[in-house]
Chains A and B, each alone.
Chain A
């Protein structure tokens, strides 16, 4: 086990290094002058001032030097300075992390609960049309853009019936609408994967045995099928966390909340490359951490799963089908 964990940690470090490299190539090695982008085409800035800014951020050094120096600083936890916020990138990210973590956590809990409930209800529905009706919901959750769902909830629950505040970040009431918006695609994906797993598990011999022993259908599904179908759904949940982070970009804009998503739109609009790179790294780090946690959880749910590395299918292959 210790060896497995060590191997996975090495792999995680590799992914982080590679994510740093990829984002460096995308942001700094592509042709284009970040300083010219920062000051804008109309700004009244002399060539000397531009050169001064360049040397202040170390952008006048050769690319290889920039890359190696940046990487060395990154391993010490220093991701450079944000040009726009005029503070270290790590500080800017740390300040925005809390609100987004709260939102994404709430969305993950709601989304998982709704997805599991929907899949179980669909499998247990006594009439075929009820099952069909329930199973039309998950594809909707995946296909409806979150800006539309967010604005729809705003229109109905905030403006028309005034149940929840429209924007801001104070108290749980302001968390409800954005969390619901963010939870919908997650619930859709989990329900689809779980429903497929439950359908397959329902045909297994152990389900016949469970029913023959006198278990009711709901009990057989809840105690036997769910546990077997939960593994792929758990993998999906791990993959969804990155999606939640990306979703926060749109959701936090719609509901005017502070957080990583808002920081991202601000950084991209201002072409604050160091900050964008920091945010990409946070996204990759979260993905790596969550999937590490999921992989370590796996053997607890299913003792047959040896601690062997598994290959994962592309996320979106399952997401939309």
Chain B
């Protein structure tokens, strides 16, 4: 796994910087935006972006930049939970299918094929219909909807590695399965898994923010990127920054995460 890419110049470096800033915003929002995200200032409502208010102010005079920075924590944590759910369950299924082969493999992959035939946003929506709205339900729904894609990629990765020469050599050398798995297969799988994780993270941010935009995630007044866009949508005619700037934050984070996935792909 290499973080410095062979191709693409400075784009991956910028991606890492952006993601670091987003992570900093999520962990210590006060550092980037010392103000209070829900401090209401009616005299200053719907002000366009300026040096004083980088992203402008909303319909209650709250500083939008502060709200976006404080929203990072919910948005990114939800995306992280979704990625973890999808990756852990998907990898487990993929590993099981790839190692067991035979009937287990056929059975697992049939289920995976069926899940892949349902568009993932639609599957998340069905899960939300069953679980009810709320940001954690959204995160779990997005994660469960991505299990199938993860399982498929993991299985093909397992099949690729177990056919490779070094695994055969380790077997020929008399190593037990557990040792082969831990010492040979796992270290060689970190690169693809890291790329997959970055990719899933980007997709999860998109899905979580889309579902929040539709109104199934965080309820106002708590700031979250997707719901900030949803609130801003009502003021699009007179205050474009309310919807577009949080939206651009989502887009840039997804772009950075996808670009990073491409850079770490072995």
Q: Is B115 an interface residue (CB 8 A)?
A: yes
User: Which B residues are CB-close (under 8 A) to A288?
Assistant: 117
Tell me, in angstroms, the Cα distance from A32 to B117 when the chains sit together: 26
Would A268 and B113 be within 8 Å (CB), given that A250-B213, A280-B118, A283-B119 are in contact? no
B251 touching A143, Cβ below 8 Å: yes
Q: Which of A262-321 contact B (CB under 8 A)?
A: 264-265, 267-269, 271-273, 276-277, 279-280, 283-284, 287-288, 312-317, 319-321
B244 touching A146, Cβ below 8 Å: no
Q: Is B110 an interface residue (CB 8 A)?
A: yes
B210 touching A273, Cβ below 8 Å: no
Q: How far is the CB of B214 from chain A (nearest CB, A)?
A: 6
User: Which B residues are CB-close (under 8 A) to A27?
Assistant: 126, 129-130
Mask for A243-277, Cβ within 8 A of B = 1, else 0? 10111011001100000000011011101110011
Would A139 and B128 be within 8 Å (CB), given that A145-B251, A151-B244, A246-B122 are in contact? no
Q: Is B182 an interface residue (CB 8 A)?
A: no
Tell me, in angstroms, the Cα distance from A277 to B126 when the chains sit together: 7
Of B113, B199, B214, the contact of A249 (CB 8 Å cutoff): B214
Q: Is B26 an interface residue (CB 8 A)?
A: no
A264 touching B122, Cβ below 8 Å: yes
User: Which A residues are CB-close (under 8 A) to B216?
Assistant: 268-269
Tell me, in angstroms, the Cα distance from A147 to B213 when the chains sit together: 8
Mask for A39-58, Cβ within 8 A of B = 1, else 0? 00000000000000000000
Q: Is A63 an interface residue (CB 8 A)?
A: no
Would A287 and B119 be within 8 Å (CB), given that A147-B213, A151-B233, A250-B214 are in contact? yes
Q: Is B165 an interface residue (CB 8 A)?
A: no
User: Which A residues are CB-close (under 8 A) to B265?
Assistant: 321
Total cross-chain contacts (CB, 8 A): 172
Number of interface residues of A (CB under 8 A): 58
Q: How far is the CB of A87 from chain B (nearest CB, A)?
A: 18
Q: Is A19 an interface residue (CB 8 A)?
A: yes
Would A264 and B125 be within 8 Å (CB), given that A155-B244, A284-B118 are in contact? yes
Which residue of B has the minimal Cβ distance to A265?
A: B214
Max chain A C-beta neighbours (<10 A), residue from B119, B156, B262: B119
Q: How far is the CB of B40 from chain A (nearest CB, A)?
A: 25
Mask for A133-147, Cβ within 8 A of B = 1, else 0? 000000110111111
Which residue of A has the minimal Cβ distance to B265?
A: A321
Q: Is B43 an interface residue (CB 8 A)?
A: no
Q: Which of B104-158 contact A (CB under 8 A)?
A: 110-111, 113-123, 125-132, 146, 148-150, 152-153, 156
Tell me, in angstroms, the Cα distance from A145 to B206 when the chains sit together: 6
Which residue of B has the minimal Cβ distance to A34?
A: B130
Q: Is B202 an interface residue (CB 8 A)?
A: yes
Tell me, in angstroms, the Cα distance from A30 to B132 when the chains sit together: 12
A249 touching B126, Cβ below 8 Å: no
Q: Which of B192-210 contact A (CB under 8 A)?
A: 199-200, 202-203, 206, 209-210
Of A19, A155, A247, A271, the contact of B132 (CB 8 Å cutoff): A271
Q: Which of B160-214 contact A (CB under 8 A)?
A: 199-200, 202-203, 206, 209-210, 213-214
Q: Is B83 an interface residue (CB 8 A)?
A: no
Which residue of B has the minimal Cβ distance to A275?
A: B129
B214 touching A253, Cβ below 8 Å: yes
A159 touching B119, Cβ below 8 Å: no
Beyond the given A268-B126, A271-B132, could you list 10 further A-B residue pairs with CB under 8 A, ordered by the A residue number?
A15-B114, A32-B132, A151-B236, A151-B244, A159-B236, A242-B119, A246-B121, A268-B216, A314-B116, A320-B202
A-B contact pairs, 19 of them (CB 8 A): A18-B111, A26-B130, A32-B131, A143-B202, A143-B254, A144-B255, A145-B250, A148-B248, A155-B236, A245-B122, A250-B214, A268-B129, A271-B132, A280-B122, A280-B126, A283-B119, A284-B114, A320-B203, A321-B262
Nearest 4 pairs of A and B residues by beta carbon:
A148-B247, A246-B121, A246-B119, A18-B114
